[in-house]
């Protein structure tokens, strides 16, 4: 048996774990995949610091993940911290807490590497996507846009817009007012205009991570989140627009009551849906394919020397 890998991705809203091996054919053999919503980025956009409560929630999740990693006998661990940890003033406290619990120093990777890892992971789950492929990863604090062909990336950017960032900066009322939605759209459009990414050239669009997978679950009216039904599902531009309009008209508790989303996802999903709509409207593809394979899969492939940087 080859090495067993544990990949942890800590973003603005969630922290996620994948335990997997890489088979002789280069494909992942998944043993465990889980997510906890910890809102590490709580208030970071306004204060520039991790809130003590957010650190406590994140460290509790790390304690849980450490038990899982020990139980599976993982040989190598990689912990990647994305948008929320790039610029905070108390980053050292976060680093020390993670290292104490998991025995590994977190890596705050550049947005470009985050995008590359997401691209590699997404293609591992949707290998038949027609080129050029656009991979979108809408997180809590940032959104990654990656375009490539033949498995080779041509453009990769990370934009400072995400579901939590829009919620805290623009969509402050619950539900948000029309003026707040308009301001959020203007913000997103300005960032897309300056991104340098030719979204219209994409023949295939793959969406990964919590915003897009949640939209698929809502669209399918799932009472309980089912990754097998979400993976490979499709969202047309028309459906994305309809979902965004509906979610922006509801309160967080109403979204939670009417969907399978947990509270910390329900209260920010409208901002993520708005971002997804604005991106989808600029693409050349008629629909978006949803993938459960994402940056975690890319991280494992990289550790195994079969994917993006970080091996």
CB 41 within 8 A of CB 12: yes
Residue 189, pLDDT score: 97
Q: Is the fold of 5-111+295-303 the same as that of 127-291?
A: yes
pLDDT tens digits along 229-280? 999 999 999 999 999 999 999 999 999 999 999 888 899 999 999 999 999 9
Superfamily (CATH H level) for 127-291: Exopolyphosphatase. Domain 2 (3.30.420.150)
Whether the model pTM is above 0.75: yes
CATH topology of domain 5-111+295-303: Nucleotidyltransferase; domain 5 (3.30.420)
How many angstroms separate the CA atoms of 108 and 130, rounded? 32
What are the boundaries of each domain within the chain?
Answer: 5-111+295-303, 127-291
- The whole-chain average pLDDT of the chain stands at 90
pLDDT tens digits along 27-42? 889 999 999 989 888 8
The contacts found for 64-72 with CB under 8 angstroms, 24 or more apart, are 64/36, 65/6, 65/8, 65/15, 65/17, 65/34, 65/102, 66/101, 66/102, 68/17, 68/19, 68/32, 68/34, 69/6, 69/17, 69/19, 69/102, 72/4, 72/6, 72/19, 72/31, 72/32
Three-class SS of residue 136? strand
How many angstroms separate the CA atoms of 258 and 157, rounded? 34
Q: Which helix (H) or strand (E) holds 16?
A: strand 14-22
List, in sequence order, every residue forming a beta bridge with 234; answer none if it has no partner: 289
pLDDT in tens, the chain (311 residues): 579 999 999 988 889 999 999 888 888 899 999 999 898 888 887 888 999 999 999 999 999 999 999 999 999 999 998 666 767 889 899 999 999 999 999 998 877 787 788 888 999 888 888 899 999 999 888 898 999 998 788 898 889 899 989 998 999 999 999 999 999 999 999 999 999 999 998 999 999 988 999 999 999 999 999 999 999 999 999 999 999 999 999 999 999 999 999 888 899 999 999 999 999 999 988 899 999 998 999 999 999 885 443 33
CB 244 within 8 A of CB 163: no
């Amino acid at each position: 048996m080859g090495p067993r890998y544990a990949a942890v991705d800590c973003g603005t809203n969630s922290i996620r774990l994948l335990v997997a091996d890489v088979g002789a054919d280069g494909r992942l053999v998944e043993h465990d995949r889980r997510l906890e919503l910890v809102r590490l980025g709580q208030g970071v956009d306004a204060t520039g610091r991790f809130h003590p409560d957010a650190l406590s929630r994140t460290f509790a999740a790390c304690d849980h993940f450490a038990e899982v990693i020990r139980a599976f006998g993982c040989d190598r661990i990689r912990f990647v911290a994305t948008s929320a940890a790039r610029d905070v003033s108390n980053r050292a406290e976060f680093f020390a807490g993670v290292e104490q619990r998991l025995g590994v120093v977190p890596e705050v990777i550049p947005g470009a590497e985050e995008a590359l890892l997401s691209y590699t992971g997404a293609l591992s789950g949707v290998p038949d996507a027609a080129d050029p492929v656009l991979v979108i990863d809408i997180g809590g604090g940032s959104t990654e846009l990656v375009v490539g062909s033949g498995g080779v990336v041509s453009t990769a950017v990370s934009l400072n817009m995400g579901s939590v960032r829009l919620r805290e900066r623009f969509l402050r009322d619950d539900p948000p007012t029309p003026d707040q939605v308009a301001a959020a759209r203007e913000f997103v459009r300005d960032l897309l205009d300056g991104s340098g990414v030719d979204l219209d050239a994409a023949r295939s669009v793959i969406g990964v991570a919590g915003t897009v997978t949640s939209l698929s679950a809502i669209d399918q009216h799932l009472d309980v989140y089912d990754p097998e039904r979400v993976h490979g599902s499709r969202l047309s531009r028309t459906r994305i627009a309809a979902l965004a309009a509906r979610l922006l008209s509801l309160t967080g508790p109403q979204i939670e009551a009417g969907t399978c989303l947990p509270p910390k996802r329900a209260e920010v999903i409208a901002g993520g849906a708005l971002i997804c709509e604005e991106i989808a409207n600029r693409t050349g593809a008629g629909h978006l394919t949803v993938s459960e394979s994402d940056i975690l899969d890319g991280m494992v492939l990289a550790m195994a020397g079969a994917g993006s940087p970080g091996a």
